[in-house]
Chain A
Amino acid sequence: MNLAVRDIRHNAGRFVFTTVGIGMLLMIVMGMGGIYRGLIHEATLLVDRVGADLWIVQGSTRGPFAEISRIPATLEDRVRAVPGVAQARRFVSHTIQREHNGQPLRMVVQGLSWPEDHGDWVPLVAGRALRQAHYEMIADQSLNLPLGSSIRLGKDAYQVVGLTRGMVGTGGDGLTFFTVSDAMAIQFDQPGEATRLERAARRARVENMDLGRLQPLLLERAAGLSGGIPALAPPQVSAVLVTLQPGTDEAAVRRTLGTWPDITVYSTQEQKDLLLAGMVDKARRQLGLFRVLLIIISTIIIALIIYTLTLDKIRDIALLKLIGARNGVIGGLILQQALLMGAFGYLLAWWIGQYAFPHFPRLVLIEPSDLVSLAMIVVVISTLASLLGIWKAMNVEPNTVLSA
């Protein structure tokens, strides 16, 4: 005869309400684990998908995600000349926040190295990859930009030709893919007046120099397009992505590139480690501490409820002792109740999570291994929570049943 189940049936209301409470707490514990997994997944998604063997970034920086990296776009041509390099691509990545339909819209702008890279590696759920060098974009569904719609960014409008799902940046903002030149145009866009003022300033500076006064052509150049001034820095990109030829010794290529003082080279794994160590680690520790606190709170709640249920049936326990019930029967009654409470709470947490987590603004990724580890934690905390009740029950004298 299972005494635990019969007692629960008798105290169904209290058991159900407590279990719901425990279930909600466990759902938050589960959700926090899922948020952490989601953070890692989102942070490393692009690095995983972009398919680069090496990331070349600005020297002595940990870019382009952990910090800003600026390198000349022409670096890709130098890299192509290194033995063992199959492909070098410019990579531009920056986050912008604009207004769209009266709402703020944050997006991560990714530049694809046109014409080598059309974005064929981007997993599309609708539409197609880029087909022209300008004014097309691929957007994530989380941005709510329908296929075929246009959005003005800077001086130009871009049409959404492809949609992805779940492609977000480290901050949870949807990814958008443009050609590198469009991405740079968006990044460095400035109002016409600012351009005019900059040109005037350049002309004024040159006019104040002997060379400017002697060379009228130089004055014209200074007041013209910035691209027409060779002395100015070439266009900057965030990184250059390197794909190696099959069978190439990666270490050898890295040794070669390592002699270039203006750059730093990272492997894909190193790039992921930088992301996780720098950007996700604090969030991980924060979520981890919250999880620990919630688990402690859950343990205390289960312990208090089990203790109260034990106190309620202290005479019944005394009677069981009087009629000769072994400690195992009495301890089992209390332990089973705690385990059932934990188990039902856990199942409730999982069930509610199925419906609740998809509505969270950021990805909540529940891995089977996390479910298993949480189940084990629930078993442990339920067992610990039952100890107080078991201790109380073990100390009950059988003659308690004779007291009024």
Chain B
Amino acid sequence: MKQATDPIIPAVEVTHLRKVYGSGHTEVVAMRDATLSIAPGEIVGMFGPSGSGKSTLLTAMALINPPTSGRISIGGKPVMDGPRALVDLRAFRREHLGFVFQKANLIPFLTALENVQIALEVNDTAPKAARKRAMELLDYLNIGPRANNLPVALSGGEQQRVAVARALANNPSLILADEPTAALDGPLGRQVMELFAKIAHERQAGVIVVTHDHRTLDVFDRILDVEDGMIQSRIP
């Protein structure tokens, strides 16, 4: 039984992360010394101008862009120590992370349902159970009636909701979203942001959203301002 005094294990913890691209004359320091911690159930907005290092930090936490130095722990488990992986990154992403991008990036030859189902099947969920779970997620995101449509037949908002359903499929402890509302109009963008907040609070997942949309500031529990590879945290 969980004790009230137990320390909360962060959804993600980044310590002194530094990322340098290139070397010599072409060296670019994208992230200088980033340290942050996101609690389970917390939704954090990451703001900053282009080239500030937001995407570098996000992709480092997504385990697809190894840092030059620093440590990353997800769900209390150390996963990166500098550029060195401490776990099987692909398996770890499969089991613990969910991703949503500016574009929905749905697989065009799979239906909405299958796009969610595939995320479950690659994590060894039996096809029948995966199908059932995928349908539940689509219903949860109010897109169940469009389950058997190919992405090309879905609107931008519908595609983004399918992408969210895919990100949620394996109950990840951390959801990373890179400008998920950039391709959506205002009301729809806000709807998606509120959906992330709901997911974070209901499912106790840490959610980090990179965005430029200041109209949705109120949705976030915390704001991270990224500039010149440095992070500052504030309450919206």
Q: Which A residues lie at the B interface, using CB under 8 A?
A: 1, 3, 6-7, 9-11, 313, 315-316, 319-326, 329, 397-399, 401-402
Contact = CB atoms under 8 A, between A and B. Distances in A.
A123 B114 CA distance: 63
Interface string B158-200: 0000000010000000000010000000000000000000000
Interface of B: 55, 59, 62, 64-65, 90-95, 99, 101, 105, 107-110, 114, 117-119, 121-123, 127, 130, 150, 166, 178
A399 to B, nearest CB: 4
Given A323-B119, A326-B122, A401 B101 contact: yes
B114 A6 contact: yes
B95 to A, nearest CB: 7
8 contacts: A1-B130, A3-B118, A11-B109, A313-B109, A324-B91, A325-B90, A397-B64, A398-B64
Contacts of B92: 324
A402 B182 CA distance: 14
A402 B59 contact: yes
B90 A399 contact: no
A6 B110 contact: yes
Contacts of B119: 323
B105 A315 contact: yes
B101 A402 contact: yes
B64 A1 contact: no
When A and B form their complex, which 6 residue pairs have the shortest distance between CB atoms, in order from nearest? Answer: A324-B94, A10-B109, A325-B122, A399-B64, A398-B64, A7-B109
B93 A401 contact: no
Given A1-B114, A10-B109, A402-B55, A323 B94 contact: yes
A325 B55 CA distance: 23
A402 B178 CA distance: 9
B122 A324 contact: yes
Contacts of A325: 90, 94, 118, 122
A1 B118 contact: yes
Contacts of B122: 320, 323-326, 329
Contact of A316 (B59, B90, B108): B108
A3 B62 CA distance: 25
Contact of B127 (A1, A7, A329): A1
Given A319-B107, A398-B64, A399-B62, 17 more contacts: A1-B114, A3-B110, A315-B105, A316-B108, A319-B105, A320-B118, A322-B93, A323-B94, A323-B119, A323-B122, A324-B122, A325-B90, A325-B94, A325-B122, A326-B122, A401-B101, A402-B64
A9 B109 CA distance: 8
A139 to B, nearest CB: 60
| Residue of B95, B99, B122, B123 contacting most chain A CB atoms (<10 Å) | B122
Nearest to B107: A316
Contacts of B121: 1
Nearest to B121: A1
B173 to A, nearest CB: 14
A399 B65 contact: yes
A313 B109 CA distance: 10
Contact of A399 (B59, B110, B117): B59
B93 A324 contact: yes
A324 B63 CA distance: 11
| Residue of B94, B109, B121, B127 contacting most chain A CB atoms (<10 Å) | B109
A10 to B, nearest CB: 3
Nearest to A5: B109
Contacts of A9: 109
A313 B106 CA distance: 11
A134 to B, nearest CB: 76
Contacts of A315: 105
A321 B107 contact: no
B165 to A, nearest CB: 12
B75 to A, nearest CB: 15
Contacts of B110: 1, 3, 6
Given A1-B118, A329-B122, A324 B107 contact: no
A401 B123 contact: no
Given A323-B122, A324-B93, A324-B94, A1 B59 contact: no
A281 to B, nearest CB: 50
Given A329-B122, A397-B64, A323 B108 contact: no
B172 to A, nearest CB: 10
B114 A326 contact: no
B114 to A, nearest CB: 6
Contacts of B90: 321, 324-326, 398
Contacts of A329: 122
Contacts of A324: 90-95, 122-123
Nearest to B90: A324
A322 B114 contact: no
Contacts of B178: 402
A110 to B, nearest CB: 63
A10 B178 CA distance: 28
Nearest to B167: A323
Contacts of A11: 109
A321 B89 CA distance: 10
A197 to B, nearest CB: 85
B78 to A, nearest CB: 19
A12 to B, nearest CB: 10
Contacts of A1: 110, 114, 117-118, 121, 127, 130
A305 B217 CA distance: 48
Contact of B99 (A3, A10, A322): A322
